[in-house]
Amino acid sequence: MISEKLQKAINAQIAMELWSANLYMAMSFYFDRNGFQGCSTWTRKQALEETEHAYEMAGFLTKRGGTPVVEMIPEVTNHWDSPLEAFENIYMHECHISKRIDELLALASSEKDNAAQDFFWKFVREQVEEEATASGIVERMKVAGDNSILYIDGQLGRRQ
């Protein structure tokens, strides 16, 4: 059985994962409007991944006797001045999510909930990759400059 406090925190994270999915979807639309199909593909796949995280967390809650809920999802921004700005936002957002996952892990630890700790370690490891990927894209865009964005766009479109 999962504690009420941990259940509430996981439900808040479910909402955050869905907000993240909406953010990536909005970015995908932005990239499509501006002719960056590779970036659009990358962010669309990221949106699907964030939705899957919400489902995973809901499934975990259900298995532990909790009740997953879908809370109100606040509106996301729909405009960026450049692909670089969008990916800088992605990097900052992934750092924020990492902090939230760390807090969930700490809460699970303080409640001595070994199953929840084990569950959240998966997300901790994944967030390391998410941050590194976003940071790498930002750095490549900065080094390449505006003239090479189409090359980077093509590379991002190869995401599996």
Torsions phi, psi for 74 (to 5 deg): -65, 155
Q: How far apart are CA 29 and CA 42, in angstroms?
A: 11
pTM over 0.85: yes
For residue 143, the model assigns a pLDDT of 85
Q: How far apart are CA 48 and CA 41, in angstroms?
A: 11
pLDDT tens sequence for the chain (160 residues): 899 999 999 999 999 999 999 999 999 999 999 998 999 999 999 999 999 999 999 999 999 999 999 988 999 999 999 999 999 999 999 999 999 999 999 999 999 999 999 999 999 999 999 999 999 999 988 887 766 676 676 677 776 5
With beta carbons less than 8 A apart as the criterion, state whether 78 and 29 touch.
yes
* CATH class for the domain made up of 4-70+78-156: mainly alpha
For residue 71, the model assigns a pLDDT of 87
For residue 9, the model assigns a pLDDT of 98
Q: How far apart are CA 97 and CA 95, in angstroms?
A: 5
* Domain definitions of the chain by residue range: 4-70+78-156
